Amino acid sequence: MISRRIIRIKVLQVLYAFYTSPDKSINNTEKELFFSFQKTFDLYHYLLDLVIEMSKHAESVIDLRKKKHFPTADDLNPNVRFVNNALIHQLKNNQELQKQLERSKLSWNDEPELVKKLYTAMVSSDFFINYMKAEENNYQADRKFIEKLFVEVILQSEDLFMLLEEQSIYWNDDVEFVVSMIIKTFKKFKEYTREDQSLMPMFKDSEDHQFAKDLYRKTILNHDELKKVVEDHTFNWDVERIAFIDKLILELSICEFLYFPSIPTKVSLNEYIELSKYYSTRKSSNFINGVLDKALKDLKKENKILKAGRGLIGEDKAE
């Protein structure tokens, strides 16, 4: 579930904390790094549970309308398509989801106002109105509706973002990514999916888990060498005036060039240029692109770039 881009982002954030904090313990900050991955994983399950809570709220609205002193025909015979949504029913009964929610102790029970606001936004949307009155009534339509609910209501809620920021500093930049992982998860669900359907693991495989640890440790342990490569290729700049976050992005990228033989240099280059667009100044991506391009050419001339296997993809031996 945790993509390599998210790994790079989290490593960058923890490195920034490491170098700007009095505590220079590699072990402690590495624990914080993996704690941040766990929090992203928790958010994945927490947001899956949110649509279940919205369904429960819809059930309570239906019950209240039935108990009115003078209920209308619609109150007594409500449209229950949303509360009977097949995908939500599968999530309610999913063993892994319930186990993870119990482990994390995360619940929406104390946030009824947010659930109500999201429900109100949903029922006023065109896609909800069309869903409730559509003649087509099958599993695919149910799943498509929940995907739209995440993208068009949950992901657009400023109230949700504010609440999540209050609950955890680790969730500030995670919501959009987590929703994309939730949509991918739904592709695994079928009409016949049972309670033991697996959700996404925290890491795709042990290789990604090791990549996170190695990227963090190798960047710190080789800091002096990486710093020198950066300085050698920014000699026309006042190094002291280069944004600190830019220096870290450069060091991380050069670390991948030098110490990760299975990762193509073009992948590292593109990933860190993209990352700089979100975590540094407006002009940083062009600056970082220029520095890394020069550094990569020189490191290749010095035969310091040793790629193998998948790392050879896109490499031009003539360079």
Task: Report the CATH number that the domain containing residue 256 is assigned in CATH.
Answer: 1.10.940.10
Domain's final residue, options 187, 210, 244: 187
| Diameter over CA atoms, the chain | 85
- Same structural domain, 177 and 286: no
Number of domains in the chain: 2
- Same structural domain, 292 and 181: no
Q: Is residue 110 part of a domain?
A: yes
Q: What is the DSSP letter of 222?
A: T
Domain's final residue, options 171, 187, 203: 187
- Same structural domain, 88 and 232: no
* Exposed/middle/buried for residue 264 (C-beta within 10 Å: 0-12, 13-18, 19+): middle
Q: Is residue 196 part of a domain?
A: no
- Same structural domain, 44 and 137: yes
Q: What is the pLDDT of residue 207?
A: 96
Q: What is the pLDDT of residue 318?
A: 39
**For residues 202 and 42, what is the distance between their CA atoms, to the nearest angstrom?**
9
- Same structural domain, 46 and 170: yes
Q: Is residue 204 part of a domain?
A: no
- Same structural domain, 172 and 264: no
pLDDT in tens, the chain (319 residues): 999 999 999 999 999 999 998 877 899 999 999 999 999 999 999 999 999 999 999 999 999 999 999 999 998 999 999 999 999 999 999 999 999 999 999 999 999 999 999 999 999 999 999 999 998 899 999 999 999 999 999 999 999 999 999 999 999 889 999 999 999 999 999 999 999 999 999 999 999 999 999 999 999 999 999 999 999 998 877 666 688 999 999 999 999 999 999 999 999 999 999 999 988 877 888 899 999 999 999 999 999 999 998 888 877 653 4
Cα–chain center distance at 138: 30
- In this structure, are residues 309 and 261 in contact, taking their beta carbons and an 8 Å threshold? yes
DSSP letter string, 24-76: --HHHHHHHHHHHHHHHHHHHHHHHHHHHHHHHHHHHHHHHHHTSSS--HHHH
**For residues 256 and 261, what is the distance between their CA atoms, to the nearest angstrom?**
8
- Same structural domain, 16 and 62: yes
Q: What is the pLDDT of residue 24?
A: 77
Q: What is the pLDDT of residue 293?
A: 95
- Same structural domain, 168 and 91: yes
- Same structural domain, 70 and 160: yes
What range does the domain containing 156 cover?
Answer: 4-187
- Same structural domain, 154 and 250: no
Q: Is residue 98 part of a domain?
A: yes
- In this structure, are residues 213 and 30 in contact, taking their beta carbons and an 8 Å threshold? yes
The model's pTM? 0.93
Q: Is residue 202 part of a domain?
A: no
